[in-house]
Structure 1
Amino acid sequence: MQTQTHDLSFTDTEVRKRFLSWADGEADREWGCLNLIWEHAPGIAPRPLRRETVGGHPVVIMERLPGDPLGGRPLTAAQTKSLGQALRRLYGIPVERITAAGINERRYGPSTLPHALAGWLSEQHDFSHCQDPTKVADGVEAAREWLARSDALPIPRLVGLGIADLNPANIVWDGQACRLVDFEDGGLTDPAYDLADHLEHIAGRTAGVFNPEALSSAVGLSEDERERMRAYRPLWAAFWLVMLLPGNAGFRRNPRGTTEAQAGHVMGLLNAI
């Protein structure tokens, strides 16, 4: 399960991102993605400046972007349009350049998350600390049974670069343009899969930050890609249900009833298929 991976320090012009470990390759992914974006889609993410090792920890130094993080309220039409344009440019980076740069599939990508999630859903869980244990158990079981189906998910198309964590706090708005930060989990992805991830991020969905149809339109997804995006949404909804189960950090961080609401959301998506 995900935990804190880094700390940040700021000057007027720079951001220093100090990673706590080399183990999962976060610093390499961040540096590789930022350099690739700077070469092929400059202006949608911070310019990479340099790398350092401090006290045995990898550090990535990047420019500090103007503006403030979004989040907590629905995006305006202008923000949605700008975010869609930024994501379109990100997904449009040629796949051969991504692979040539040594950048592999994003963390929790379409080839790894379904198997991992199936394992998490099949674990023994103690629902007694939940507000409504039966509802949560039903949500977990519905997700487990759905994921076990051979036709549950589309065949992935790894054709673009993804940020892999579109928490609204990772979108910086300067009044005119949206830019993206936090590429430590980024990598090769399927745009439909990535956008489903973004739409289901708990920090964005519960606050109604993203309008699914408006954002997918702004990104320029075809109708086929939108159908594939919708098919991936239950996967990410189930991921967040697992994050919100007792024993995981999401359960402690969120108000009582959040897990039950997520279980209801999962079942609603599955019933709509």
Structure 2
Amino acid sequence: MPQDRRLASIVNAVNPGVPPLVEPFPETPTAWAQAYALSWPEYPERYVVRLIDAGASEREAVRIEFRAARLLGEKGIGPAVRSADAEEGVLVMDRVDGHPVRPAARWQALSVADLLAQLHSLAWDNPARLYAEKRRVAGDSVLRLTERIPALALFGEALREFDALRAGLRELAVPQTLCHNDLNPGNMLFDGRRAWLIDFDHVGPGDPLFDVATAIDSLGLLPKDADAFLARYFGRPPTEGEAARLELLGCLVLLRYGLSGLSLVPEELQPGLASWTPDDIGEAWVFERAAHEALGRSVFRLSLGFATAGLARLRGEPAARALRTLGIGTAVTARREAALVGTGHAEW
């Protein structure tokens, strides 16, 4: 069903005969979904309609996303789901009257910590990882771009470091829980009283501290607020091993967003990437689009910020100490050196 027909059918079903105000959410670089806000001057209801592009997403992945959205809505972690049709790719949710923030205040950080503790305690019996295919496609794209455009060597290094670090962390075999896996600032909303999590198209089992590390960095928390976040999440201070994992996962998060961002740059803009300069490097987590700037160019600048920050953090003493604490430094080094003489990359 074409996108406009799907949206029209939802509009007619919610309040028949009463035309709503339909507002598309701002353009994003991801191709697989578009969201619209629905409201009526005469009625209090406010909804968000998420339309999935059938050509960009597998049907089973949509089913899993919608199932997760319904579960998390029922638990009060995300907005309540009013309708979910995976066959048509249509999800209707209550609209949260909230906004992303960075840096977050302490009460906002603690609210996210509570939500993550709740999320990571939920029973979830589906082993599928919705982020895995997206990450594989992104990795392949980055590999092709760095081979074709030597000026993007920074991302080739980021990909090798990502693969090596991820392989080392996987050797720890930590217990997996249901995770959000994409806690960028736009996916945590605050309404003045509490936090809400949205957008569940990356859900799946994973290391719960990946979400924790992402949230702490994404929210721009000061050290004391980060400590309060962790004490709230764990119910105690983190152990030495947990702190080490968080440090390395923080590096992994930055590298992942850098690589993913590069893969989202449209093909028509890719030839121009060879001329980037240090002035183009954006700030990790801060999406700024200059007037008349192509969206893809803004995404590229952000990806440079993530990749640069991730490599710098990984080279720091806290990361080196964390590798020693966890006993995976040798494995990570061996994987990195093997990548320099080999081809391809590990599955994300």
TM-score, normalised with respect to structure 2: 0.59
What displacement does 1:210 show?
A: 7.7
CA contact (8 A) 2:179 2:205 kept: yes
More helix per residue: 2
How far does the alpha carbon of each residue in 1:58-115 deviate from its partner, in whole angstroms, 9 at most, with x for none?
Answer: 21122233x31213x3000110011111111111113xxx10xxx3343235xx7887
Give 2:232's aligned amino acid.
Answer: A
**Residues in 2 aligned to 1:35 and 1:246: alpha-carbon distance in whole angstroms:** 30
Cα distance, 1:241–1:232 mapped onto 2, change above 3 Å: same
How far does the alpha carbon of each residue in 1:107-126 deviate from its partner, in whole angstroms, 9 at most, with x for none?
Answer: 235xx788777655543525
Cα distance, 1:217–1:108 mapped onto 2, change above 3 Å: farther
Paired residues in the alignment total 248
What displacement does 1:228 show?
A: 1.6
Residue 141, structure 1, aligned to residue 157, structure 2: yes
CA contact (8 A) 2:48 2:92 kept: yes
**Residues in 1 aligned to 2:161 and 2:129: alpha-carbon distance in whole angstroms:** 26
CA contact (8 A) 1:158 1:190 kept: yes
Which of 286, 293, 312 lines up with 1:268 in the alignment?
Answer: 312
Larger Rg: 1 or 2?
2
Matches within 5 A, 1:124-203: 124-125=145-146, 126-127=148-149, 133=151, 137-138=153-154, 140-141=156-157, 143-144=159-160, 147-148=163-164, 152-154=168-170, 155-199=172-216
How far does the alpha carbon of each residue in 1:188-237 deviate from its partner, in whole angstroms, 9 at most, with x for none?
Answer: 2220123334456xxx37xx368654443432273233322222233332
Give 2:100's aligned amino acid.
Answer: L
Aligned match of 1:6: 34
Matches within 5 A, 1:46-195: 46-52=79-85, 57-65=88-96, 67-71=97-101, 73-94=102-123, 98-99=124-125, 103-108=126-131, 119=140, 122-125=143-146, 126-127=148-149, 133=151, 137-138=153-154, 140-141=156-157, 143-144=159-160, 147-148=163-164, 152-154=168-170, 155-195=172-212
Cα distance, 1:185–1:24 mapped onto 2, change above 3 Å: farther
Cα distance, 1:74–1:51 mapped onto 2, change above 3 Å: same
Structure 2: runs of 5+ lacking an equivalent:
1-28, 40-44, 274-295, 320-348
Give 1:79's aligned amino acid.
Answer: Q
How far does the alpha carbon of each residue in 1:124-165 deviate from its partner, in whole angstroms, 9 at most, with x for none?
Answer: 52557xxxx4xx524632651563479632434353222222
**Residues in 2 aligned to 1:177 and 1:31: alpha-carbon distance in whole angstroms:** 23
Q: Percent identity?
A: 20
Cα distance, 1:256–1:190 mapped onto 2, change above 3 Å: closer
Residue 19, structure 1, aligned to residue 49, structure 2: no
Secondary structure in 2 matching 1:172: strand
Aligned match of 1:43: 76
**Residues in 1 aligned to 2:59 and 2:214: alpha-carbon distance in whole angstroms:** 20
**Residues in 2 aligned to 1:106 and 1:138: alpha-carbon distance in whole angstroms:** 28
RMSD: 3.6
Structure 1: runs of 5+ lacking an equivalent:
none
**Residues in 1 aligned to 2:89 and 2:222: alpha-carbon distance in whole angstroms:** 33
CA contact (8 A) 1:70 1:168 kept: yes
Cα distance, 1:116–1:194 mapped onto 2, change above 3 Å: farther
Cα distance, 1:15–1:260 mapped onto 2, change above 3 Å: closer
Tell me: higher relative CO, structure 1 or 2? Use CA pairs within 8 A at least 6 residues apart. 1
CA contact (8 A) 1:118 1:144 kept: no
**Residues in 1 aligned to 2:238 and 2:76: alpha-carbon distance in whole angstroms:** 25
What displacement does 1:17 show?
A: 1.7
Cα distance, 1:107–1:259 mapped onto 2, change above 3 Å: same
CA contact (8 A) 1:10 1:16 kept: yes
TM-score, normalised with respect to structure 1: 0.72
Give 2:198's aligned amino acid.
Answer: V
**Residues in 1 aligned to 2:73 and 2:53: alpha-carbon distance in whole angstroms:** 25
Aligned match of 2:8: none
Cα distance, 1:52–1:176 mapped onto 2, change above 3 Å: same
Give 2:230's aligned amino acid.
Answer: S
- More deviation in 210-219 or 21-30? 210-219
What displacement does 1:166 show?
A: 1.5
